[in-house]
Amino acid sequence: MRVAIIGATSALAHETAKSFASDGADFFLVGRSSEKLAVVAADLKVRGAKAIETYTLDLNQLEHHDEMLQQAIATLGGLDVLLIAHGTLGDQRASELSVAETLQELNTNALSVISLLTLSANYFEQQKRGCIAVISSVAGDRGRQTNYVYGTAKAAVSTFLQGLRNRLSKSGVSVITIKPGSVATPMTAHMKQGLLFAKPEAVGKDIYEAIKKRKDVAYVPGYWRVVMLVIKSIPESIFKRLSL
């Protein structure tokens, strides 16, 4: 299996890749840090990956997306799975005080993802098979005062994926929206970690299974589907008084 992972040095991407490595997959790994990519690549090689190519790119440089994707296709001889896993959990308060900060978060978490999806969708549609999986978030299910800039970006991605799934299903291509809840990763290390926080190892395996089973939408861990159903059902008149 030929797997391209965008944002390959993130904890969830790495944990997901471990399962694909055990299957003997070939990888094209993309990230900002060549040093971190080398560490991930070495780990996956030990775990059974057949071939690994790395590509260093700041994914906010949208003008380089097409070149990168073409390189992935050429290197692997085609793509079976594309996992888009990059993103940042920005400072909500900083975004509230700065238009530039808000736009930067939206660019990283929404526009760069939509750029990659637009380009890769055309490839997979022509190929008439394969899987596009994107790590969105439960934060996009309902706007909350503590992270609504991040949530806005994830909501945009989830809606885009929904439309793309509708379009590409006619070509035999799977489009998977992955919605993690709170996960104990370096990105959330500054947060108080309660009972709902999951371990990245377990979430990575859930993401792998969702891709293998070609699910449409996967809440990981699965209990977040129920949690978000409850949160979404709260009337706005009550919800706006809550500190969530």
State pLDDT tens for residues 55-92: 999 999 999 999 999 999 999 999 999 999 999 998 99
CA distance 10 to 166: 28
Neighbours of 159 (CB within 10 A): 13
For the whole model, what pTM was predicted? 0.93
Tokens standing for residue 181: 């809840």
Structure confidence at residue 184 (pLDDT)? 65
CA distance 113 to 84: 7
Tokens standing for residue 239: 């919800």
Which pLDDT tens digit goes with each residue over 35-61?
999 999 999 999 999 999 999 999 999
User: What residues does each domain of the chain span?
Assistant: 2-239
| Extended strands (E) in 41-191 | 51-56, 81-84, 131-135, 174-180
CA distance 220 to 44: 23
Residues β-bridged to residue 220: 180
In angstroms, the first-to-last Cα distance of the chain is: 41
Which pLDDT tens digit goes with each residue over 169-225?
999 999 999 999 888 666 665 666 556 677 889 999 999 999 999 999 999 999 999
Q: Does domain 2-239 have CATH number 3.30.930.10?
A: no
Structure confidence at residue 233 (pLDDT)? 96
